[in-house]
Amino acid sequence: MPSLLHLSPFLFLFLLLRPSTTVSASAASAGDAAAMLAIAAALRPPQSLNWSKSTDPCSWPQVTCSAGRVTAIQVGKRGLSGYLPDEVGDLTALVRLELMANSLSGPLPSLSALSSLQYLFLHDNNFTSIPQNFFSNLHSLVHVTLDHNPLSPWSIQPDLTVASNLANFTATEAGIIGSVPEFFATSFPNLDHLVLSFNSLEGGIPQSFALSQVRFLLLNNQQGGQLSGGINFVANMSRLQQLWLQSNAFSGPLPDFSKLIDLVDLDLRDNQFTGLVPASLTELKSLKVVTLTNNLLQGPVPVFKNPNMTLDVVASTERFCRTDIGDCDPRVNVMLSISKSFDYPILFANNWKGNDPCENWLGITCDGHGNIVVVNFQKMDLNGTISPYFQLLPSLQKLILSGNNLNGTIPATLTNLTYLRLLDVSDNMLWGKVPSFNQNVQVITTGNKNIGKDPHPGQNPMDGSGGTDGNGSKKSSSIGVIVGSVLGVICLSFIIGLLIFCYCKRNNYQIGRAHKPNNIVVHPQHSGSDAEMLKISLASATGSHTSSGPSDLQVGEPGNMVISIQILRHVTNNFNEENILGRGGFGTVYKGELHDGTKIAVKRMEGGPMESKGLSEFKSEISVLTRVRHRHLVSLLGYCLDANEKILVYEYMPGGTLSDHLFNWMKEGWKPLEWKRRLSIGLDVARGVEYLHSLAHQSFIHRDLKPSNILLGDDMKAKVADFGLVRLAPEGKYSVETRLAGTFGYLAPEYAVTGRVTTKADVFSFGVILMELITGRKALDNSQPEENVHLVTWFRRMHINKDTFLKAIDPSIDIDDDTLASISTVAELACYCCAREPQQRPDMGRAVNVLSSLAEVWKPSADLEDAYAIDLDMTLPQALKRWQDLENSTQMYNTISSTPYIASLENSQSSIPTRPAGFADSFTSADGR
C-alpha cells in the first residue's frame, strides 16, 4: 500500500471529496429534463452510457439528482466527442460537472447562472475558447481543472475572486497569458493547489505570495513569455510541499528555506539562479526530490543532509568553484561575498568559473603571486551597494565601480586597503560623506548627485532633493553665492580634469572606449607561435586585457569575432588534406591545432563568387550562433570573410559524428554504442533542439537534423551542429514558407509537399533519429528491399507487435528487461514524433521529458568534459568566451530542457511519468471521474 505522499495529491483529494454516484427516486423537473436532453444531444455520448433508454435524466447513469434537480454530471473519460451547449447554464442546482478526458471541442459556454457549482473538471479536452468573465457568479467553486485544452489566449480575470472557498485551481497548458494574478495569494485563504504550468505567463511573481497558504505551487515551463525576477517570497510560504518553477527565467539568489519544513519536491532547474545553495535548503529533512540543474549556481557543490533524497544538480552545468565536494579557494569566497552585495549578477556567474579568480575572471587582475590587485566593474549595470568585503583584498590597488546603478554609501572599511591608489565610483547613485582616504588614493565620485549629503528623516537620498537646515527649511542663498559657486566648480573641474589627464597619460590608463578594430591583425611586436598569434588576435577582438600589470588596465568595449585568413592558414597547415575532419554539402571541415595543443574545427565553405548560395548559409550560421548559446549546440568561436573565403571556426568535438558511431563503428574499429549512451545522446539532442524552438529569445527551425549533424565530445555528450539552413520562425505565424532544404529521409511530409515549415518538421527529423538509435539503420537504406528502404515506414510496421519489434532493434545492443522497456518507450515516442500530421506530434519539451525520465545521470570517468573544447580552461577560449558572455549577457543564457507537469504525449494511450510515483500527476480518479 503506497503512502499518501506517493499518491498524486490531486488524485487523493479527488477521491476524498468525490461523492458516490446516486440516482434520486424523483423525476427531473421539466426545465432540467429539457436542458439535459439538449446536453445529451450535444455531447454525443456512446451507446454504452445508456442515456437514450429513458427521457428522465435522473435515471441516467453518472447523473445525480436531488428533489427533482440535477446536481451532478459525472461523465469523465466516457468517449464524448461533441461540445458543451449553452443549456448547461439552465441546470442552476448543479454542484458537480465532470467532463474531463473526452474529446469535447468548441467554445465553453457561460456558466454564470451556476451559483451552486463546486466542482468543475474540464481538463484533457479540445475546448477552443473561454468566455470573458467565465467565473463571475460562481460563488461556490472549490475545485477547477482546465488542463490540456487548446484555448485561445486568455488571462485569468478578477471575477474568480467571488469563489472565496477555492481550494484547487489547475490550468496546465490552457493558453493563459499575462501575469500571475496577485489575487491567488490574497483572495483564497483555503487555496491548496495552484498549477499554471505550460502557459505563456510572464513577469514576476507578486511578493504577496509570501502570505499564501498554498501547498502545491507549479508554475513551470512558461512558453512565449517567461516568468522572471527573484523568488524571495518563497521564504515565508511555510506550508509548501511541492514547488515547481523550472524552465523559466527566474534569477537572483535562492531564498531562505528554513521555514519550509514540509517541502518534499523542489524543481528549480533551467532558470538563471545565481549565488550559493543556502544551508537552509541542504539541511531540510523533509526533502525527497531536489532538481537544481542548469542554473548559474556558485560556491561549493552542495551537500544535502537527507541521504535518501533524489538530487539532480550536475556540477558541470553550474558555476560551482569545483566539480567535487569541498571548500572554495578563500579568494573565491571573498569575491562571492562581494557579489552578494550586487545580488549575484548573472554576468559574474557566467564569467567567474573555476576555483582561481586569477584565471581570467571578468573584471579581476592579479599580480604574479596570485594576489588580486585590480577590480574593474565599470559599466556592468550593477545594482545594490558597495560591499565592505572589498577590505579582504589586501593587495588591491585599483577599484573601479563607475557607470553602474549602485546606491548607499562608500564603506569606511575601504580606507584600510594599504595599497589602494584609485577608487572610481563615478556615475552611480551614491550618497553620504566620502570617507577620509590616504592622500595617495585618487577618489573619483563625480556623477553622484547626492554624494556628500546625508539623508534627513523622511528624505529619500535617491530623490535628488536638496539639503535643509536644522529646522527643516531650505537653505537660503544669494545670487552672488550661486554665481561664485558655479565659477568655482568650473575652475575646479578644469584643474581636476587636467590632473587626471596627466595621470592617465603617465600610466597609460585609457578612459572610455577602446579602439575597435575593423579586422584582426597580428601585432608586429608579438610575432611568434601560431598559438600566440591567434590568442593575441582574439584578445584584440574581445578587448580583453593580457598584460600582467595593473598599470596597463584597459577599460573598453568588446569587439567582433573576425579572425584573419593568415591565422587560419597557419593553424590548419594551409588547409592540409591530412587535417580534414569531414566534408559536407557546403564545405570542408579541418582540424586546427595551436602550438599549445588546443584544437579547433575550421569549416571552409566552398569557393566561388560571393553571390553563391554558400554565402546565405554562411551568414545564416553566424546569425544563429551569435544569438543562441546552449551546451548542446556547437559553439561558434569566430569567422573569416576574406575575398572568396568564407570560414567558420567552432569548438572542436573529438568524438566525431553520431552517424559514424551508429553506421560506421566497425569500419572505425570502435565499440558499438550501448543503449544508455544512445539514450543520453538522444536527450542531449532533444534539449538542444528544444532550446532552439522555444527557450531561446526567438524560435528557430533547424531544418536539417540528422546524425551527421550531431557531434560528440570525448565524453560522448552530444551537440547539434550545422546551422546553415536554420530559419527564424516569425512571431505570430504558425509556419514559414521557404525553399525546400534538408535531407531526404528526415524531411517531414508536409514540408516536402507544401514547402511550409514549422518546428514540428524538426520533431519529425528527431523521431527519425530516435528510430536510427534503436535500429542502427539509416533513414534511407537502398541496400534493403524496396518496401524497407524508408526507415519510418518500415519501423512503423515492425513496431506493431512485440515479436517483430524485437527483430527491429539493433543486434549490437545488449537487451535485458529494463533495457527493452526503455527502448519500447523511446520507440513509442519516435512514432509520435513521426506522426503524419504535424499537430499530432509532441513538442520537443515533451520529448525531453520522456527521455529525461529514462536517462541515467552519468559522468565521464575523468575530467574530460571539455578537454579539447575551445571555451574553458585555456587562454584563447577564455578570452573569447569572456567577450561572448559580456556582449550577450542580456540575451544568451542557458535555459535547457523542460519538465512537463503532466507527461502524456499528444493522443497517447499510456502515461509516461515525470516523477517517481506521484506529485501532481493528474486530477482524476481511477475511472476517470
Q: Which residues are catalytic?
A: 704
3-state secondary structure 779-790: CECCCCCHHHCE
Radius of gyration, CA atoms only, the chain:
32
Number of H helices, E strands in the chain: 20, 42
Q: Are 92 and 115 in contact (CB under 8 A)?
A: yes
The residue type of 211 is L
**313, HSE (Cβ side, Cα atoms, 13 Å):** 28
| Bridge pairing between strands 645-651 and 636-642 | antiparallel
Cα–Cα nearest to 468, from 454, 482, 479, 449? 454
Find where cell 515547481 sits. Answer: 244
Nine-digit cell at 655?
A: 568524438
Q: Are 176 and 201 in contact (CB under 8 A)?
A: yes
Distance (Å) of CA 89 to CA 57, 122, 457, 808: 16, 15, 60, 54
3-state secondary structure 320-339: ECCCCCCCCCHHHHHHHHHH
What is the DSSP annotation of 537-573? HHHHHHT----SSGGG-B-------B--HHHHHHHTT
3-state secondary structure 186-219: HCCCCCCEEECCCCEECECCCHHHHHCCCCEEEC
Separation between Cα atoms, residue 33 and residue 68, nearest integer Å: 9
Q: Are 235 and 215 in contact (CB under 8 A)?
A: no
Cα–Cα nearest to 384, from 328, 449, 337? 337
Separation between Cα atoms, residue 730 and residue 725, nearest integer Å: 15
Separation between Cα atoms, residue 193 and residue 182, nearest integer Å: 15
**911, HSE (Cβ side, Cα atoms, 13 Å):** 11
Q: Are 685 and 632 in contact (CB under 8 A)?
A: yes
For residue 763, what are the contacts with CB-CB under 8 A and spacing of at least 6? Answer: 748, 833, 838, 841, 842, 843, 844, 847
Q: What three-state secondary structure class fits 487?
A: helix
Helices (H), 416-574: 479-507, 530-542, 565-571
List the beta bridge partners of residue 69.
Answer: 66
Q: Are 97 and 88 in contact (CB under 8 A)?
A: yes
Q: Are 868 and 599 in contact (CB under 8 A)?
A: yes
Indicate left, alpha or beta for 756 from its phi (over 0: left) and psi (-120 to 50: alpha). beta
Distance (Å) of CA 380 to CA 385, 400, 401: 14, 11, 9
Separation between Cα atoms, residue 129 and residue 147, nearest integer Å: 13
Cα of 925 vs its chain's centroid, Å:
33
Separation between Cα atoms, residue 533 and residue 526, nearest integer Å: 7
Separation between Cα atoms, residue 782 and residue 788, nearest integer Å: 9
Separation between Cα atoms, residue 228 and residue 237, nearest integer Å: 18
List the beta bridge partners of residue 311.
Answer: 290
Within 10 A of 337 (CB to CB), how many other CB atoms are there? 15
Distance (Å) of CA 808 to CA 443, 771, 797: 74, 10, 10
Count of positions (residues) in the chain = 929
